Every structure is written in C-alpha cells, then in structure tokens.
A = this chain, B = another copy of it.
Amino acid sequence: MRLPTAVNVFDVGCRDGFQMEKQFIPTSEKVAIVNRLARLGFRKMEITSFVSPRAVPQMQDAALVVAGAERVAGVTYAALVPNMKGAQRALETGVDELNVVFSVSESHNRANLRMPVADSLKNVADVISLARDQGGKPVNVSLATSFGCPFEGEVPRERVLKLAREALAMGAASLSFADTTGMANPRQVYELLGSFRDQFPDVQVTLHFHNTRAMGMANILAGLQAGVTNFDAALGGLGGCPFAPGASGNVATEDVVHMLEEMGISTGIDLDGLLETARYLEKVIGRTLPGQIMKAGKVKDLHPLACEQ
C-alpha cells in the first residue's frame, strides 16, 4: 500500500460547519475556536466565508472573526469567497488566502450560485486578478460536486479535469476537489485523483469529503493512495448537506488525524488538544456531534483489566 509519510489536514469547520448551523453562534465563540485550533499545529484553516449576510446570516460576522484571529505563525488563515464582492470584503480584512468555489455540475452551480458555470469561471478569473493586485494573495479554487451532483448524478471525469485545467490557467494557486453532498466512492476518488496527478504532478491539491454516506474515511484512504497529501475536515464532524437532513457532516478533523497517526502518517497536529477542542465545540453547539474518537477514545487509550484473571 503506497502511502505518504506526512499529510496536511486543514480544518474548515468554522466555515463549512458553522454555515450549516441555524442558531447564530456568538462571534466570541467562533473566535475562541479558531484560536484554540490555530495553536494545535494546523498549517491552514478556513475560518469563515464572505457570503451575503442575507443569504447566510451565520456568516455575517466574517470580518470580525478574521479580526479576532490571533495570527499564529505558520498558519494560513483562509476564507471562502463566492464572488467579487466577497473577495473585496475578504481582502480588506487581511486574510492570507481566498478560496473561491464553483460547481462542476451546471445544475448545482445554477442552484447554488445562481449563474451558469461559464459565468462562474469569469468570476474565478476576476477574483484571482483582484487578489493578485491587492497584496498578491493566493487563491485556491474549489471544484464543488466533483464526485457527483445531487441533481445530475455523476459528472464526467473529463469535465472535472477540463474545468480544473481552466482554473489553473487562470492562475489558481491550488485546487480543491469537493465532494459537496457526500457522493464520492473510493474507486472514483482514486481514479479521478490519479488522472489529475498524472496531468498535474506539481499542483497542490486538496480533497474535501463529507461523510454523508459513510464513505468519507475510505475516500481519504483512496486519496492518500493516489498521492494526495492535503485533506479538509471539520472539527467534530460538523457540517451537513441540505439534501440529507439527518445525515452526517464533514469528515471529523480529530477522526481523520487519529486515523492518519495510527497509520504512521504524520500530521503535525496535537490530537489530544484537538479532542479537547472538539468537546468544547459540542458544548458551544449544544448537541452531540458525529466525531467518534471523542466518544470511543483513541486506540492508544488502553483500559485497565476489569476482572480477576
């Protein structure tokens, strides 16, 4: 089994997790979680989203969250931006990196961003230019629904690769392939990422999986075998999918870090600190979250013998 020796896990819970929460999370709590996480060894965190406050009221405090973040050395503080307006707002806050997103599926892009994919691509190009002009900030481009669209089903691999190539030609610093509604399976991940890495061996690529259908961790294993070394995850497994109300969220950061470390793959992340922060997050959110190591303990937490031998 061909596996990397070290991997980056990026926490995106403060963006992809919080944005799904109906009840407004106080800005001070968001900032507290960002700052706790930042001290645990992450090299990048996506801490908020500069979407329309009317569309996503939870993210109305995006600028305040960035302002409250202690800028821990070695951590890239990234924010999602859906469009030029969001990019302008984000760049004013001094965030380190923008993550601009569009869907590779035409119908999902229209449903989510209210425009055809062709217009979204122009948008991506504009955001990249703006970020270059204003401080030379790198832009990661996220290809949503890369592993399937909840309306259309499978998206042809050639289409995903073509759109990835276009984003790179526009100046994307890096790419993410997102399994937006949890439709990816391990064979598909291995094949898509294998093809991508054959064509673009030097491009930094991140995989973003939701555990909606119980395949998130297996998809990470497949991604590792395809040579991917960057994975998004959300603390506690926060997040979700609007099409599957009772379903699980993003893969849980602490469960991903635990699996990688058990496999001998170094993440540089303090797992015990992560578990403490996940438990704190559960208190803030006020309900049990899907993360499993919080409940089961680590493999390395051995038990005393309960009975006489």
- Which residues of A pack against B, CB within 8 Å? 1, 3, 107, 110-111, 148, 150-153, 182-183, 185-188, 190-191, 211-215, 217-218, 220-222, 225, 241, 243-248, 252, 255, 258-259, 262-264, 288, 291-293, 295-300, 302-307, 309
Q: Is the CB of A302 within 8 A of B187?
A: no
Q: Is the CB of B215 within 8 A of A259?
A: yes
Shortest A146–chain B CB gap in Å is 14
Shortest A144–chain B CB gap in Å is 15
* A221-B218, A299-B148 given; A305·B107 CB < 8 A: yes
Shortest A192–chain B CB gap in Å is 12
Q: Is the CB of B296 within 8 A of A1?
A: no
Q: Of all chain B residues, which has the CB nearest A189?
A: B1
Q: Is the CB of A186 within 8 A of B292?
A: no
Q: Is the CB of B255 within 8 A of A213?
A: yes
Q: Which B residues are CB-close (under 8 A) to A220? A: 218
Q: Of all chain B residues, which has the CB nearest A150?
A: B303
Query: Which of A107, A186, A309 is the most central at the interface, judged by chain B CB atoms within 10 Å of its CB?
Result: A186
Q: What is the CA–CA distance of A145 and B52 in the complex, to the nearest angstrom? A: 52
Q: Is the CB of A259 within 8 A of B185?
A: yes
Q: Is the CB of A214 within 8 A of B1?
A: no
Q: Is the CB of A244 within 8 A of B214?
A: no
Shortest A279–chain B CB gap in Å is 12
Q: What is the CA–CA distance of A212 and B296 in the complex, to the nearest angstrom? A: 6
Q: Is the CB of B151 within 8 A of A262?
A: no
Q: What is the CA–CA distance of A153 and B252 in the complex, to the nearest angstrom? A: 24
Shortest A303–chain B CB gap in Å is 5
Q: What is the CA–CA distance of A88 and B25 in the complex, to the nearest angstrom? A: 61
